[in-house]
């Protein structure tokens, strides 16, 4: 599930939540409890294939 960053317009708290897409707009503020927390950035926690390209050339060890 993606992680979103929220900003509460009521108390100004900023927090992150890992929610599903259906609940992305229904996050309550942990500080004041308002449900009007606005989603700031859709920060998807996905780090795939960003540097692991040429590190698989393993030398065949063990000569029988
Ligand atoms: Zn708040």
Residue 6 C-alpha to ligand 1 middle, in angstroms? 10
State how far the Cα of 14 lies from the Cα of 29, in Å rounded to an integer. Answer: 8
Residue 24 C-alpha to ligand 1 middle, in angstroms? 16
**5 vs 42 pLDDT, higher one:** 5
State how far the Cα of 38 lies from the Cα of 22, in Å rounded to an integer. Answer: 14
Residue 49 C-alpha to ligand 1 middle, in angstroms? 37
Instruction: Using pLDDT thresholds of 50, 70 and 90, give the confidence band for residue 30.
Output: very high
Domain locations in the chain? 3-38
pTM above 0.85, yes or no: no
Q: Which residue has the tokens 């942990």?
A: 30
Q: What mean pLDDT value characterizes the chain?
A: 75
Nearest Cα neighbor of 19 from 50, 37, 49, 48 is 37
Residue 28 C-alpha to ligand 1 middle, in angstroms? 8
């Amino acid at each position: 599930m993606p992680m979103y960053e929220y900003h509460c317009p009521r108390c100004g708290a900023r927090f992150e939540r890992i929610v599903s897409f259906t609940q992305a707009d229904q996050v309550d503020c942990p500080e004041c409890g308002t449900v009007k927390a606005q989603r700031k950035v859709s920060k998807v926690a996905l780090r795939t294939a960003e540097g692991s390209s040429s590190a698989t050339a393993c030398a065949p060890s063990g000569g029988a």
